[in-house]
Amino acid sequence: MSSAKGQNFGRRLGFAGRGVLAAFRREASLKVHAAAVVFLIVFCVWDQTPAPWIAVFTLAAALVISLELLNSAVEAMIDRLHPEHHPEIGFAKDALAGAVLIASLASLIVFAAYSWIRFAGPI
């Protein structure tokens, strides 16, 4: 474990990158989200998606990945600090998972809206 306090910016970026890679190695759900991002990139290249939509897709994907990283980190910390089952810990884990779910569904709605406009015409 390392502390970013007092470290230069490059080292802090390294710590962050290491955390992202560690989470991708440990968490299957992050791999699923990463596959969705790869699909989205391929789709945008194929479709020649306009820049404003790419910006919206990027923000939506970043939100989902960020919340998934937060969910994974907090769950790991909770499991380490309080391994026994407790209703409040169950609530915290469920709420974190719910945040990821809501962001994921919102991202799907954004993609569906774009696809509808692009391929079926205005809503």
CATH number at residue 101: 1.10.287.3610
Asked whether residue 50 is assigned to any structural domain, the reply reads yes
Distance CA 43, CA 114 (A): 12
CA distances from 20 to 59, 67, 122 (A): 17, 12, 38
Share of residues in the chain with pLDDT > 90 (%):
85
Rounded Cα gap, residues 44 and 37, in angstroms: 10
pLDDT digits (tens, 9 = 90+) for 38-95: 999 999 999 999 999 999 999 999 999 999 999 999 999 999 998 888 999 999 999 9
For residue 19, being part of any structural domain is answered with: no
- The pTM of this model reads 0.86
Query: Is 88 among the domain residues?
Result: yes
Residue 63's contacts (CB-CB under 8 Å, 6 or more residues apart) are 103, 106, 107
- Determine, yes or no, domain membership for 100: yes
38 backbone dihedrals φ, ψ, rounded to 5°: -60, -45
Average pLDDT, the chain: 93
Query: Residue 79 is which amino acid?
Result: D
Q: How many domains does the chain have?
A: 1
Catalytic residues: 68
Q: What are phi and psi of 2, to 5 degrees?
A: -130, 160
| Residue 23 belongs to a domain | no
Q: What is the pLDDT of residue 85?
A: 87
Q: Note whether residue 15 is domain-resident.
A: no
Per-residue pLDDT, averaged over 8-28, amounts to: 93
Domain carrying residue 69: 28-120
64 near 104, Cβ under 8 Å? yes
- Asked if residue 113 belongs to a domain, the reply is yes
Q: Residue 69's pLDDT is what?
A: 96
Residue 5 inside a domain? The answer is: no
Q: What percentage of the chain has pLDDT greater than the value 70? A: 96
pLDDT at 123: 66
